[in-house]
Amino acid sequence: MPHFGLMDVTKMTEADAMLLCVQLHIRGGRRRFERGMLAAGIASLYDALCYAMRWYILLPEHQECLDIIGNEEFRDERDIFAVLVRSGVIGDTFDFDAFEHLVDQSLDKETFQFDAPRVLVQIEKVMTELEVMPFDEAALPSGHPAAF
């Protein structure tokens, strides 16, 4: 993962550490796409999305707007995604199931191809809805080029 060695979680709140992970994964996904490493790039963006959704529900100021039914638990990313869509945080145009399927395909096929710029636009839209983007990439810890 692109965040290893780039942050000291003992000096951060859980929310701050999670947000930094999101931002590092977004940067890592973009860089991997630029280098034609599509499978690694899509995996980085999937991790970013999972961290971003968990970050969003972690913050008390966000919890007030969540439409949680009964004792609904956040067992996995699908559950969290459903709550965020139902709550109006994430628009209903992003297909999480299709994105997960794309990630699964990327891990199974050696010659994996897809429309990376289109997927990046979709992910960046969701990241904006989750209040993760925009962010200043120059403010992030510099990553070792070999990690990308």
Backbone Cα Rg of the chain: 15
Q: How far apart are CA 91 and CA 12, in angstroms?
A: 30
85 within domain boundaries = yes
Domains identified in the chain, total number: 1
9 within domain boundaries = no
61 within domain boundaries = yes
pLDDT at res. 124 = 96
Q: How far apart are CA 27 and CA 132, in angstroms?
A: 12
At residue 73 the predicted structure's pLDDT band, cuts being 50, 70 and 90, is: confident
66 within domain boundaries = yes
146 within domain boundaries = no
- Residue 115 above 60 pLDDT? yes
The residue ranking higher by pLDDT, 32 or 107, is 32
62 within domain boundaries = yes
Expressed as residue numbers, the domain containing 54 is 14-134
7 within domain boundaries = no
The token pair at 24 is 């590092």
26 within domain boundaries = yes
Assessment of whether the complete model's pTM goes beyond 0.85: yes
Encode pLDDT of 121-136 as tens digits: 999 999 999 999 998 8
Tell me the average pLDDT of the chain: 86
Which residues have a Cβ under 8 Å from the Cβ of 49 and sit 6 or more positions away? Answer: 77, 99, 123, 126, 127
pLDDT at res. 94 = 94
CATH number of domain containing 39: 1.20.120
Q: How far apart are CA 127 and CA 13, in angstroms?
A: 20
